Structure 1
């Protein structure tokens, strides 16, 4: 719930036309021009998922404002334009009515303005401390996170906190571990590789650009990855690299020539990726995101790894693996199975880069 508050020496409001973009059943009866003196004007926007908790917080905050400013009436004016997460009209009308009632129960004088009209109004503010105050009340952490999930399109607007996917609870419960430097990030990567070697049954790893952009790669990390390809036939490795960058296309050719049997059997699966400024290592039970120290420069990788984020959670990893296939892997080329397919992909990407350079030039 959002409040936009003004301490006014005088103000007036007049309904003009009803809105044509909301449910007509929620539009209030029209009000004639109303003028007020020495009041607190509160524009209020009810947001999706607001409820009793937010009402209590708003009533308490307005009580504190009145105490600071001195006793005066409150003019309550609905304004749905304060938030892109605005609630459906029926919910908004109901909660504004409850807020009106709650404030009056707490001894406040309240003038509630109509809902659903374009208004002509004027405000004259005192220009002292407290003349303009903005507040937003998010409610519980679950509601805050659900609002984000809704905005990203992961959850439909009518979802409740209990409807969020199980992997989202990992983020809400702060199970992510921040790795504060390059060394810790490498150690997490090596640990994830070792877990695949120690696991019973078939292991599987998904990588994207992982540490390939380092100016001085950690040989022990890359050696361990190569050891998996040489000596552990039950571990499958997915490797996505930005083949439009010459250094990475050469590295991909090297992998095809060094591990032909792994390529042919599908234990090493190569992909192109358009991503070049973040790095991933995924397993079925853990996620590592590695972030660069410097902003990405044209035609190059971002630079040495600065820090990482690590999470060990099966559900979270499962969903990011799906994201890997849908977002990190370039669907235009898909799984590159042969060296001739690799050469064709690299040639096409080089041609695209050349044409883009010509257009920019």
Structure 2
């Protein structure tokens, strides 16, 4: 659950039109234009796998916030756009209702705005300490990991924590290591590259745009990758690149021209990727997920890395590798084997982007 709150001296909300992208049975009756003074506005997004635990956490946290700022009416405004892992509409309506009840039980005056509408609104914030506060409530560690597994496509959207595959229990065993900086994440990536040089006869590396959005240490990483291609013929490299971005499409063309023999033999395999908010490296023994500081819109690279998640576990890596083609690689394109095929894919992507801009 994500909540963005704003202490407002005044605000207004007005329903414009109902959404045509959600379950129509969950759309509430339209509300007239509402104006408020001296309130705390809370934009609420219910995420997949949220439940009573997250509702209780949110009520506790924002009850404390109201106590700090002084008692005032609370405005609950549904806002599905705060997360890419939004819950089904029926669950969202249910939990927002439960949050309203929890806050009302604490003695707060709560106004819940309509669900399922595009809204026009205006806020005048006080600007004092605590006037703008954002919080995210994850619930249990099982839920956190299940959300990640669903995002990767490993678990179906309707999975429950008990449905997680046995190998995913690696989270509970504390084998996942959070890398708190770009430097730590880069060092893990470099170590994974170096390990391939020792994996005689079975080296294999799957990457997705890792660090290509960086000015540094891009050169070091790419030189290490070039070393693998040029000096270790027993190591196969799978390279997924967002070919809708000119910098990456040019880099792909460069690889086809620089390493034609590696391309033809299949030692270097190029794919298109639609991923824009996560970067990835896999080997037979380890997994590295790298996350950007600010996720970019579709069609651009993730940008500056702020943290990573690393796990050295063969079973874990084996299962994620099985999902490489379904999550990181564009299945409509698949393995691009010739430069002419590459140019055709790039041209098609450029045409799609042009049509989207026209619309």
TM-score, length-normalised on structure 1? Answer: 0.58
Tell me what 1:338 maps to.
none
Shift, 1:78, TM fit:
1.4
Q: What's the C-alpha RMSD, in Å, of the aligned pairs?
A: 4.7
2:152 paired residue number: 152
Q: CA deviation at 1:96?
A: 0.7
Structure 2: gaps spanning 5 or more residues:
178-183, 207-220, 240-254, 272-279, 289-309, 347-359
Distance 1:144 1:246 in 2: 42
Q: Measured at CA, do residues 69 and 212 of structure 1 come closer, stay the same or move farther in structure 2, by a change above 3 Å?
A: closer
Distance 2:283 2:169 in 1: 21
Structure 1 unaligned residues grouped into runs of 5+: 194-203, 227-236, 253-268, 290-308, 334-347, 357-361
The reply on whether 1:112 has 2:138 as its aligned counterpart is: no
Deviations 1:305-359 (A, max 9, x none): xxxx7724335336537859x97xx9566xxxxxxxxxxxxxx779x99xx9xxx
CA contact (8 A) 2:192 2:283 kept: no
Give the structure 1 partner of residue 312 of structure 2.
Answer: 311
CA distance in 2, matches of 1:124, 1:208: 52
Quick check: which has more Rg, 1 or 2? Answer: 1
CA distance in 2, matches of 1:94, 1:245: 56
- Superposed CA deviations along residues 66-98 of structure 1, whole A, max 9, x for unmatched, are 111111111111122222221111101100110
How many residues are treated as equivalent by the alignment? 276
Q: 1:310 to 1:115 in 2, by over 3 A?
A: closer
1:205 lines up with 2:206 in the alignment: no
Distance of 1:322 and 1:23 partners within structure 2: 30
Q: 1:192-271 residue pairs with structure 2 within 5 A?
A: 205-208=202-205, 249=261, 271=267
Task: Please give the secondary structure, in 2, of the residue aligned with 1:22.
Answer: coil
SS of structure 1 residue aligned to 2:202: strand
Deviation at 1:141, TM superposition (A): 2.5
Aligned residue for 1:273? Answer: 269
CA distance, structure 1, for counterparts of residue 72 and residue 161 of structure 2: 38
Aligned to 2:31: 31
Q: Is 1:137–2:133 an aligned residue pair?
A: no
The verdict on how the C-alpha distance between 1:135 and 1:274 changes in structure 2, with shifts beyond 3 A counting, is same
**What is the CA–CA distance in structure 1 between the aligned matches of 2:21 and 2:238, rounded to whole Å?**
48
Structure 2 residue 100 is matched with structure 1 residue 100: yes
1:40 is aligned to 2:36: no
List per-residue Cα deviations over 1:188-212 (Å, max 9, x = no partner).
669866xxxxxxxxxx734359x99
TM-score (norm 2): 0.59
Aligned residues of 1:150 and 1:156 also touching (Cα < 8 A): yes
Q: Tell me the SS of whatever aligns to 2:133.
A: strand
**Native 8 Å contact 1:170 1:316 kept in 2:** no
